[in-house]
Amino acid sequence: MSWLVAGLGNPGDRYARSRHNVGRMVVEEMARESGERFRKARFVPAEIAEVKIGDQRVVLVRAQRYMNESGPAFASVAKKQAVEPARVIAIHDELDLPAGALRVKLGGGNNGHNGLRSLEQALRTPEFLRVRVGIGRPPGRQDPADFVLEPAGRKAQAEMAVWTDRAADAVRSLILDGVAATQDRFHRASSP
């Protein structure tokens, strides 16, 4: 059986370095580490890269639609690849976690995250795995939408590279060791 890792984010250079794209950054890093390149999925607005984690086949996916309408692309790839929702891992940014904190869970609400909402609707269930990467709240009175979509500064980029590596490790742990072991390992270690 296969797994699908959905890297939530927005396509294009404009958003490539934004906090909102941390999920997309994770799948890109996982593909790079495996020496794989993304290729266009047939008849779906998405790009995929296939990798092995242990003996498991894993399809890394980045949608070519904006995050709030990306769910159907991920769900279409999952259907074509015969991946059940319980074996879909969505990686996304989380405003309500401190910057650098990492949480893993199965199911739950979308907490107002439009990418998760779109994915839930497309999969027709909230029962998929999530790797939540904390980006913290914006400073002062900055609008959260501006905070998540603006390019992160040099210091934030360096921090995000560390978060990306840890989130990729959490994905590998989910696939190889399961939810409970991954939560035990990453929840304790992820408090900044």
Please identify every residue annotated as catalytic: 20
Cβ proximity of 67 and 115 under 8 Å:
yes
Phi and psi dihedrals of 11, rounded to 5?
-75, 160
> 25 CB contacts (<8 Å, ≥6 apart)?
7, 9, 160, 164
Quick check: 115 and 68 in contact, CB under 8 A?
Answer: yes
Distance CA 143, CA 139 (A): 9
Return the SS3 of 59. strand
Spatial CB neighbours of 125, under 8 Å, sequence gap ≥ 6: 85
Contact 18, 149 (CB under 8 A): yes
SS3 137: coil
